[in-house]
Amino acid sequence: MTMTSPPPAPLARLALAGLVAESTAVQALSSFAMLALPAIAPAIAAAHELPAALIGVQIGIAYGGAMLTSLVAGGLVRRLGAVRTSQAALLLSATGAGTAMAGGAAGLAVGSVLIGFGYGMVNPAASHLLIRATSPASRNLVFSIKQTGVPLGGTLAGMVAPPVAQAFGWQGAMAVVAVAGLCLMLALQPNRARWDGDRVPTAGWGENPLAGLGHVWRMPLLRALSLSGFAYAAVQLSLSTFCVTLLVAELGWPLVQAGLALSAVQVAGAVGRVLWGAMADRLDDGLATLIVIGVVTALATLATAAAGPDWPGWATVAVLVVFGAAAIGWNGIYLAQVARATPLEQVGRVTGLSLFFTYGGVLVGPPAFAALQHLTGSWTATYALAALPAMAGAGVLVGARRTIRSRS
């Protein structure tokens, strides 16, 4: 991981609020594109006469695409600039949404891959900018605020996609995703020259990704963060992907009300990200905060498993809100810890490489969740099993934290 050019110029002169706002918007639109299909899974399944659980395969395909582009995203950021890379990500998301509308199961699969390609480029670009504009004392909070774009995108998916699908068909919901992505892509252009001033047009972007993955794996802290990210992401996306289907298929909720419940989960995740990020900065201990998040997530999966059709709606939503605040709340701290453990000029690349492992959790998690549901015949019982990866991720971080403290 040698450098062939001078370090990029610092971005302290940028207005941090504007930078965070635009980074958050890109994250939200990319997440909207990723989660729109799961939010209308019952409608798509009915239109194509497919089991609703197959949406887990769809989300796995999308994150498989994200894994691939995360390997090269750091090089693209250096060569094209972080803003141009973000614009390319939004274009891919819009194209994927349009492709998903075009034709049957094949269109859904290809569109999911394209949406995933775009999603894998978002975080390396954002981390490249934010690490230069934040102080260590507020880094967990700032990264967590940016990462509220993920649950905000999920909120859009839950609030917008089901009613649009009911009114205009599921293709109409994906058309909204495509138009929104193109509009935001154009809105980023005015800041492109200023914020991409550190790009190196002659930089190579095709560096050997396997060598980079080896570097991440050999660094104990980066390895622990990546493995915990794998586990936490598997639980997070299983919650987001199957929440609507759980409520509709097993608890008997109407689709629109289930979509609103998903929105409540995502809002809780957004609030949780900010609160967990502030806690990590206050304690000056991001790893300890991530461990607590894992334990709370595991307890929430068990509470969700106890839900039934006879539960009051408010009680089910209350459990899911706690679940969302924990299971969706970890990402900003994770990205801040990866950036903290990485040389400044390599933040974009190492973030992408670490996310390769994290996205692997999403690639494995929802399809495995769907397979377990097929075996158990119960969505709630399958959610109980999600406690295992949550505790495994926390355990990996406990070991890493003990190692670091013993060396200090």
Residues 213-256 have pLDDT tens digits of 887 888 889 999 999 999 999 999 888 778 888 888 888 888 88
- Domain membership flag for residue 364: yes
Which residues constitute the domain of residue 132?
16-193+207-407
Residue 3 lies in a domain: no
Burial 351-370 (b: 16+ CB within 10 A, else e): bbbbbbbbbbbbbbbbbbbb
Q: What pLDDT is attached to residue 339?
A: 87
Contact 40, 161 (CB under 8 A): yes
* Total tally of structural domains belonging to the chain: 1
| Nearest C-alpha neighbor of 167 from the set 255, 258, 253 | 255
Other CB atoms within a 10 A radius of the CB of residue 120 amount to 28
Residue 198 belongs to a domain: no
- Residue ranges of the chain whose pLDDT lies below 50: 1-14
Q: Which of left, alpha, beta for 207 (phi over 0: left; psi -120 to 50: alpha)?
A: beta
Q: What is the pLDDT of residue 103?
A: 65
In this structure, is residue 11 part of a structural domain?
no
| End-to-end Cα distance, the chain | 26
Q: Establish if 291 belongs to a structural domain.
A: yes
Distance CA 290, CA 239 (A): 18
Residue 7 within a domain: no
Give the tokens for residue 216.
């991440």
- Phi/psi of residue 252, nearest 5 degrees: 80, 25
Assess if residue 10 is contained within a domain. no
Does 5 fall in a domain?
A: no
Which pTM value belongs to this model? 0.79
DSSP code of 9? P
Alpha helices in 306-346 (DSSP H): 313-327, 331-340
Residues 6+ apart with CB under 8 A from 195: 11, 14, 19, 81, 82, 83, 129
Q: Give dist(CA 321, CA 149) in Å, integer.
A: 17
Closest C-alpha among 118, 101, 120, 236 to residue 175: 101
Total residues belonging to the chain: 408
Helices 220-245 and 331-340 cross at an angle (nearest 10°) of 160
| CATH number of the CATH domain containing 363 | 1.20.1250.20
